[in-house]
Amino acid sequence: MVLEIKDIMKALPHRYPFLLCDRILEVEYGKAVKGIKNVTINEPFFQGHFPDEPIMPGVLILESMAQVGGFIFYKSDEIEKSLKGKIVKINEAKFLRTVLPGDVLEVTGKLVERSGNYSQVDLFAKVGGRVVAKAMITYAFNI
């Protein structure tokens, strides 16, 4: 199942310039997800990070990963689609390569654990098949 930008905008509250997910390529509800963010020179953050050597900020790579990761729970039979997850914890975040204008950030995530209102997702971001970032993100629902 592929979700295009209009479907993503129905699911996520984020809007420009903070919507950092362009397409969901695969979803196994409650288990795994794969999505992309097309990184262009037109991103507003490149004006200041850095003007002579544009690099996508690590915190925005994490945000992109978190937005894609949240689709594991979208329309799941365990969590109603009206519920919005919030990030409550990020563990083991590592940035292994820079992300530049023109890159396609491919994010994959797998549900590791669910306990009550909390769900932990293992996420990887790749460019050209090479891991650029990884993190374990914990989402909370109904808090």
Residue 16 DSSP SS3: coil
The secondary element (H helix, E strand) that includes residue 124 is strand 118-127
Is 49 marked active-site? yes
Residue of 19, 23, 25, 49 with catalytic role: 49
Integer CA distances (angstroms), 66 to 3, 52, 100, 109, in order = 16, 28, 19, 9
Place of tokens 């994010």: 107
- The residue type found at 25 is L
Give the catalytic positions in this structure.
49
